[in-house]
Structure 1
Amino acid sequence: MTERQSFFLMKYNIVWFIDGLGMGGAERLLVPFLRRLNESHFSIRVCAFQVKEGNPMGVQLRRLGVTVDLLPIPHLRAPTAIPRLVRYLGQHRAHLVHTQLEFANTLGTVAARLRRLPTVATLHTFDDVASPGKEARRIRLMWWVLRHGCRRIIAVSDGLRGYVEQTARLPSARCLTLYNGIDLTRFCRQPPAARLALRRAWGIPPRAPLAISVAVLREPKGIQYMLRALPHLLRSWPDLRYLVVGGGAHEGALRALAGELGVTERVIFAGIRHDIPDLLNMSDLFVHPTREDALPTVLMEAMAVGLPLVASRVGGVPEMVHEGENGLLVPAEDIPQLIAACHQILDNPALAQQMSTAGQQIAAAQFNIDRQAQKLAQIYHELLS
């Protein structure tokens, strides 16, 4: 057997360090990526720092055969954090470490460097370091650690890669873009009968326009801008409903705002859901009014199902929403432009259908999880060979 043949027959132990296992975009991507990586030449372990036993994401991963360990680390300065991670990597005979999110990128990279293991870090967000607060100092520390200790730094969009190369001074030779991906067998258009059945279950009239947003309900996600647009849209479309999927600290304020605006009866706060493909399929328009986003997974999912998109022109969003082709871009926080874009699609069924078809084609070409997982596996092979 040649050395090359031996390399590809060997099962390599990959440890993924991640801050937690919540329902944000980075965490939700674990399942489709790890399902495919675990079926290749890798044995994957996930180690989460801030999560409770019985977490739904952890349960899902374990069903896939992925080992999930919970290693509580309360903060970056915890004196035992790095020694514990170093021991963990030794105990599980890790060959490579992949880190996700701030704490993991910082602590996991240091621990891997001490074990002399190659490290891959994924950056998911445009982090603001202009403020003098603790968060900015933590981000600057993460960047310093990645600059000196990480072999490959993955940005989830070209816009984010350019930002971190310039702002964080991360070496361009070690930075690359790898789009996230979704399971196109799960996110696909369902037949009209299924759509009608879903609407009946939610009490939504068959012909009522339904706009949907899926997000962690934080203030920067911008759901409040769509709520403020709603009274204007209801003048033209009295039966319009707005479905808000997700939970978070801002939910109470959003419910109160809907009440102040008099649109409570037209807004459905669905909470955290695990039937996102169904909810997208019964909708007519996906609205993503965020103030910041690197490469929102929800836009991939919406276009794969065939929804026309209205989204803020921020971060990596223009790499996904091709203006006039699969959706419309608006300036962040610009409510009049948001209203106009929603009107343009709702008033023009032919345009909406054209955008639906284009979106499905773009999702298949750019965001197929099988293709993206193969690219990630190739990065691992390059570092391990």
Structure 2
Amino acid sequence: MRILHLHDETWDSGISHYALTVACALQKKGHQVYFWAPMVSHSIAKARHAGLIARDVDFPWFYLHSLRCEIKKAKIELMNAHTGSTQSAAVALSLGLNIPVLRTRGDIRPVSANFLSRALASKTRGFIAPNDAIRNQLSAAFPQARVELIFQGIPSPIDVLPMPKAPVIGLLARLDEVKGHETWLDAVMILRQQFPHARFLAAGGGSPEKLSRFRWQVDALGLKGVVDFLGHVVDPWAFMARCRIGVVASTDSEAVCRAALEWMAMGRPLVATAVGCLPDLLADNQTGLLIAPNDAPAMAKALLRLLENPQTADEFGVKGKQRFEQLFSVSRFADLTEKFYEESLRNIPPRR
């Protein structure tokens, strides 16, 4: 297949990673994959580095005619839009070309079902939902639409190191308010009284100001030597290998969650908030523990359970690794997406 992915988020978001991962995986399966994104986006540089046929597209509405000519010349067979604005552009580009448009929706906010969105949905061959909540939203908003649930897959780590004995708890997330660092720190304050030997590491990029503020907060709370904010780490697998338990403390969003999958792939038990895709990824009381968001006492209680019961933590880690391999591998991600693409291409009239 000749597949065109359209994506216009400029930052390194979860849905950007979803789009790039599936595009690269389909290319490895032998498909010809094109990736269009703004010149300033994080994803366009990564697409080029991965060997995708990448093109800078900053204002598609200004160049519809020339872009349509490029699509015809490349003999594109299917377009996959990863945002609402690129879905609109894809539908406009496809008019008269008999090219099906698919939309991957990676936004956990309620789906709008107004006249314009319904009209756009009627011109969209199908939707891909990365979690069950989004699938239900799409099905309710557009009852006639084909909606496919396809969980994100990620590459496995090269080496899965044994779980360390030291009680180190890790949080891997960018320094953003929605990632729940404040709740995590509140849980640390509770937990240090009950399990004083535990140590806590936070890794993830963010502005120097945010990193400095968190480090100042650690000192102000008397947690120096207990908590360490490392900032951006080049090798997240090496960071997770140091930890016995992983945490996803997000307060909202998480349409996709790369960090949760990475913890599972590394064979670490996970304590995660029940937001977005996390109830789909984590099997509660089997691979980890789900808790309510913004609930520091619940987080501390869940972490204490795993610290005080190392055998349970070990079992959760093993089962998490197995669940990852069964449901969230890159090969399964690519296979399911490929199948949905092929189904979407059926009964398409031949292009003249």
TM-score normalised according to structure 1 size: 0.79
Unaligned residue ranges in structure 1 (runs of 5+): 1-11, 130-135, 196-206
User: How many equivalent pairs are there?
Assistant: 343
1:152 paired residue number: 126
Structure 2 counterparts to residues 32-181 of structure 1, below 5 A: 32-49=21-38, 51=40, 55=42, 57-73=43-59, 80=62, 82=64, 85-113=67-95, 115-128=97-110, 143-144=117-118, 146-166=120-140, 169-171=141-143, 173-181=145-153
> What letter corresponds to residue 154 of structure 2 in structure 1?
I
Structure 2 counterparts to residues 298-377 of structure 1, below 5 A: 298-377=259-338
Task: Note if contact 1:187-1:304 (Cα within 8 Å) is conserved in structure 2.
Answer: no
> What letter corresponds to residue 2 of structure 2 in structure 1?
N
Instruction: Give, in angstroms, the shift of residue 342 of structure 1.
Output: 0.9
Higher relative contact order (CA 8 A, sep 6+): 2
Counterpart CA distance in 2 for 1:101 and 1:123 is 7
- Out of 249, 253, 270, which is 1:289 matched to? 249
SS at match of 2:11: coil
TM-score normalised according to structure 2 size: 0.86
SS at match of 1:371: helix
Instruction: Give, in angstroms, the shift of residue 155 of structure 1.
Output: 0.3
Instruction: Give, in angstroms, the shift of residue 101 of structure 1.
Output: 2.7
Aligned in 2, Cα 1:344/1:172: closer, same or farther, shift over 3 Å?
Answer: farther
- Out of 238, 251, 255, which is 2:210 matched to? 251
State the superposition RMSD in angstroms. Answer: 2.8
Instruction: Give, in angstroms, the shift of residue 140 of structure 1.
Output: 6.3
1:198 paired residue number: none
After superposition, give the CA deviation of every residue in 1:20-77 in whole Å (9 maximum; x if it has no partner).
Answer: 363322222344423331133421011112625xx5x54443343212222223xxxx
Verify: 1:213 aligned to 2:171, yes or no: yes
Q: Percent identity?
A: 23
> What letter corresponds to residue 279 of structure 1 in structure 2?
F
After superposition, give the CA deviation of every residue in 1:270-303 in whole Å (9 maximum; x if it has no partner).
Answer: 3333412221122111111112223422211111
> What letter corresponds to residue 338 of structure 1 in structure 2?
M
Instruction: Give, in angstroms, the shift of residue 321 of structure 1.
Output: 1.6
Counterpart CA distance in 2 for 1:68 and 1:141 is 33
SS at match of 2:285: coil
Counterpart CA distance in 2 for 1:66 and 1:113 is 25
Counterpart CA distance in 1 for 2:320 and 2:311 is 14
Counterpart CA distance in 1 for 2:96 and 2:218 is 52
